């Protein structure tokens, strides 16, 4: 059994009563300093990952699930809810050049314009 901070024990009950609905809600009950240490990473890196959850690895999610005593399905449902809630912001951060490209919104091909 892994040694874990006692605050992880709040996650399952809070999920069951609806206080945790997305992945980042976990951090309302477990400080990111604790999670970062358990993931073997720095708090700054975890903070960056929290802004872009698509950059977490599956292993990161599974480790957090194990510490929180959540199933793979439960953690992935929370991750999906987080992604859906923030997908526009995530897409803009992932593909900033598409927003600024002058031809990005113009779907007309060059051959159609010249005819």
The verdict on residue 105 lying in a domain is: no
User: Is 67 among the domain residues?
Assistant: yes
How far apart, in whole angstroms, are the C-alpha atoms of residue 76 and residue 83?
Answer: 10
- The angle subtended at Cα 31 by Cα 35 and Cα 8, nearest 5°, is 70
pLDDT per position as a tens digit, 50-64: 999 999 999 999 999
Q: What is the pLDDT of residues 54-96, one digit of tens each?
A: 999 999 999 999 999 999 999 999 999 999 998 877 677 666 6
- For residue 69, tell me if it sits in a domain: yes
Crossing angle for the helix pair 58-68 and 32-39, to the nearest 10 degrees: 120
**What is the model's pLDDT at position 88?**
77
Number of domains in the chain: 1
Alpha carbon separation from 91 to 24, 73, 80 (Å, rounded): 18, 24, 14
What is the model's pLDDT at position 94? 65
């Amino acid at each position: 059994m892994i040694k874990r901070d006692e605050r992880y024990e709040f996650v399952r009950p809070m999920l069951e009563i609806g206080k945790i609905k997305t992945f980042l809600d976990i951090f309302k009950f477990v400080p990111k300093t604790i999670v970062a240490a358990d993931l073997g990473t720095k708090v700054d890196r975890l903070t960056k990952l929290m802004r872009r959850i698509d950059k977490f690895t599956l292993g990161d999610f599974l480790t957090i699930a194990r510490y929180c005593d959540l199933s793979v399905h439960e953690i992935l449902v929370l991750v999906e809810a987080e992604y859906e809630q923030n997908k526009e912001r995530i897409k803009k951060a992932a593909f900033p050049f598409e927003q600024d490209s002058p031809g990005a919104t113009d779907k007309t091909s060059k051959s159609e314009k010249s005819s």
